[in-house]
Amino acid sequence: MNGAKKINFKALSIRTLLSLFATTISSLGIGCYYGCGLGTDPISVFVDGLHNITGMSYGTISTICNVIQTALIFIFIRKYLGIGTLIGMFIGGPLIDISEALIRVNFPLESTGLPVRIIILLVGLLTTGIGYGLGIASKMGIGCFQFIPLFLSEKTPLDLKYTQMISDGAFFIIGVILGGVIGIGTIVGVFLTGYILEYTLSLCEKRIDELGPIVQENG
């Protein structure tokens, strides 16, 4: 029947897997930031500050923040809410705890040289930015911490890379006030994550869109 809808299961499956992959690598990236001991990414400075004043694990705090920001996405930019948001909300925090633990076991700070720690930092920077960009490109719902930059990019004339910098800067300042650990990794994250995110988005979005929409007209 003309006008009927059908599910594009190929697009649904691939986009869901990409969203899961995006959450996994961005969580790995955040774990690299924590594990290298050279300063966490800007958002994690904020999480670290909350960790200092509450004593809760990084993953638990991330999960709580994810729930709050998911509610904000639902209220203000509902079109970006999807299964990817739920994936990030429920598995992002635990994956951060797991990846941080693995890095600290295999690369303990007291015996790991600075060059190796810098490599871990760069891996964290790249995987975080790529994961954020790929998560947006999958169009299965944004990660919770993408709420502020995307909201600002829609409400202001600023490009996403600049609203990402603003968001990162705000989390950085609040995190420092709360006692979060900072370092060279934090500065690198503030200035480069947005560029990596936007480049990944521009590189992947068109290719992913070629899969077609998840819901299609039938006939």
Q: What are the pLDDT digits (tens) for 13-30?
A: 999 999 999 999 999 998
Instruction: Check whether 2 has a pLDDT greater than 80.
Output: no
For residue 1, the model assigns a pLDDT of 47
- Mean pLDDT in residue range 148-155: 90
Contacts of 60-68 with C-beta under 8 Å, sequence gap 24+, read 60/93, 61/93, 62/92, 62/93, 62/96, 63/89, 63/90, 63/92, 63/93, 63/94, 65/144, 65/145, 66/92, 66/93, 66/144, 66/145, 67/144
Mean pLDDT score, 112-132:
94
What is the average pLDDT value for the chain, to the nearest integer?
A: 88
Mean pLDDT for 199-216 is 90
> pLDDT tier at 98 (50, 70, 90 boundaries)?
very high
Confidence of residue 4 (pLDDT cuts 50, 70, 90): low
| Cβ 145 vs Cβ 65: under 8 Å | yes
